[in-house]
Structures are given as structure tokens and as C-alpha cells.
Amino acid sequence: MKIDEIRRVDREVKSWLSESRKRVLTEMKSRLVVNTKTGRRDLVTNVDKANEHFLVDKIRSYDPGSKILGEEGLGDQVTSSKGQVWIVDPIDGTMNFVKQRNHFAIMIALYENGQGILGYIFDVMGNKLYSGGPDLGVFENDQKISMEKNYSLADGLIGLSGPMVLSNEYNVDEVSRKSLGMRIYGSAGIDIISVLKGELVGYISHLKPWDFGAGKILLETNGFKISSIDGQPLDMLSSTTVLLGTPNAHRDVLTIVSQ
Ligand code: 2AM
Ligand code: CA
């Protein structure tokens, strides 16, 4: 995609996200309709569905030739990364949304032939939009941001998923001990924002494409590493255990989990 078109799409997506945030804030004031998906901790609400509907409609009218992978299934059956592929997570951190009315995100990514073009993570309650891509750089609202420092695992906090801590999958106990402490935020989007800002040196969680699609673009643009927990490149259409962070922390975690 040419830079002029990327800028045009960027303006357009930001206008959708601004409207989307306002709608979510309004809908949050009414009683939520909460349903479970795979279990009692995997939730979907009327707001997740309405917001995916809203965003998918916007994408379809703006870019009818593209394909859309949406968490709640209102997009398309996407089986190939050829062409333009949008990835939508209408509410990331639905448990936080339901129980805290805070610490959740709206996420959108645009890939072209598997290459990240634009990524968006909107911290709704903080009213901070993290956006950008390789051609634009990474922004917190209108402010350009960069990696603060290439921290090692021993120099910072590590974000982990609750279920992985409980099962000590991939020896995350040891990862946590080597760090300055672990944090469990419950939203991949909020964890990824924390890594971008230097508040966490890394994050480990089992994730689906809509959980990491936008974050991968923003992280790689700013020099962070993201891979599967065994160090392999991510497949944009599959779920896997994901490791992301500063290059040093990423290397430190790989060393521990491969022992
Ligand atoms: P969600 O709220 O959009 O479903 C919580 O630990 C984080 O992991 C959230 O980003 C959440 O996204 C995601 N998540 C929750 N259940 C998951 C599952 N079964 N597989 C992958 N990601 C999940
Ligand atoms: Ca979601």
C-alpha cells in the first residue's frame, strides 16, 4: 500500500474508533447481557457483538474487497492471508469489561499479504489510542512513542496470563522469579500497551489472532520481539502461546522456557 493510502485509511479507522468508543461508553451504562462461550471465564456481551457489527460494517463499506477476521464471527471465514485482511477484537478483556468496567480495549489490525500495515489498540477508559505501523511509527493519541530501553527480564515486570500461572505452563514460575515481579492484567491489549510504554518488559499468554494482530504491528514497528513461546514466527490465522517483549527480555524468557 502506498503511503498516501495508508494515511487515508489511518484517518478513516481513527474516526470509526472514536465513534466506536462513544457507543461502547453509552451501551455500558445499560444492563449488560452476558453469555459464556467455552466456559464460565470466557464471556461475550451484547456490547462485544454490537461493536463488532459496527466495525465490520464500517470496514465492509470502506474496503469491500477485503476479508475480515472478527472474534465474534460477524466477519468472514478467513483461510488465507492473501490480499487485505482486517482483524477485529471488538472488546478485548471482556471479563474486565464486565467485572471492572475498566481495563479493556478495542483492537483493529490491517494486514496485506501477511504483512502488518496498521494496528490500533484503544484503551477505552483511559481514552488513549495506540496506533500506527511500519510506515507511520507508533503513536499514543497524537504523540509519537518509541522503546524506552531494551530492558532485560531481570530489570522489569513481566505480564502473564492467569491460567498459565496456575498451571505453571512453560515454567512461567521461573520466568516470574527472574523478573522484578509478575502482573496479571487480563487483557492482551492492555498488556501490550504496557510493553509499548516500558511498564512491562514482556508478556506471555495463550492468544488468538485478534488478541495479538494489532499488537504485533505496533510492537515490531518499535523494535520489540513477538513470537510463539518456542521462538517461532506467528501464523496470523492460528492461536498459540505468544511471547513478546523487549529483545533482551524476549531472549531471557526463551532461555528459561527452553530449559
Ligand atoms: P478477550 O477478552 O477478547 O476474549 C485474558 O487473559 C486475555 O486473553 C484477554 O485478552 C482475552 O481476550 C484473552 N482470552 C481469553 N480467553 C482466551 C482463550 N480461551 N484463548 C485465547 N485468548 C483468550
Ligand atoms: Ca474480545
Domains of the chain (ranges; CATH) run 3-145 (3.30.540.10), 153-257 (3.40.190.80)
- Beta carbons within 8 Å of 238's beta carbon, 6+ residues apart: 209
With cut-offs at 50, 70 and 90, classify the pLDDT of residue 119.
very high
Measured CA to CA, the distance from residue 115 to residue 132 in angstroms comes to 14
131 with 139: CB under 8 angstroms?
yes
Which ligand 1 atom sits nearest the alpha carbon of residue 42?
Answer: 16
Q: Which ligand is nearest to the CA of 91?
A: 2
**Distance from the CA of 214 to the center of ligand 1, in angstroms?**
15
Q: What is the pLDDT of residues 236-249, one digit of tens each?
A: 999 999 999 999 99
CB 187 near ligand 1, within 6 Å: yes
Q: Which ligand is nearest to the CA of 241?
A: 1
User: For residue 134, which of 71, 69, 220, 37 has the smallest C-alpha distance?
Assistant: 220
Q: What count of other Cβ atoms lies within 10 Å of the Cβ of residue 166?
A: 9
**Mean pLDDT in residue range 9-18:** 98
Is the confidence at residue 59, as pLDDT, over 90? yes
Residues with CB under 5 A from ligand 2 (ion): 71, 89, 91-92
Measured CA to CA, the distance from residue 123 to residue 18 in angstroms comes to 11
Q: What is the pLDDT of residues 134-154, one digit of tens each?
A: 999 999 999 999 999 999 999
**Distance from the CA of 256 to the center of ligand 2, in angstroms?**
30
pLDDT at position 22 is 98
Q: What is the pLDDT of residues 142-191, one digit of tens each?
A: 999 999 999 999 999 999 999 999 999 999 999 999 999 999 999 999 99
Model-wide pTM > 0.95 = yes
Secondary structure of residue 5 in the 3-state scheme: helix
Measured CA to CA, the distance from residue 230 to residue 245 in angstroms comes to 14
pLDDT at position 259 is 84
User: For residue 195, which of 248, 239, 233, 237 has the smallest C-alpha distance?
Assistant: 248
Q: Give backbone dihedrals phi and psi of 250, rounded to 5 degrees, phi first.
A: -60, -45
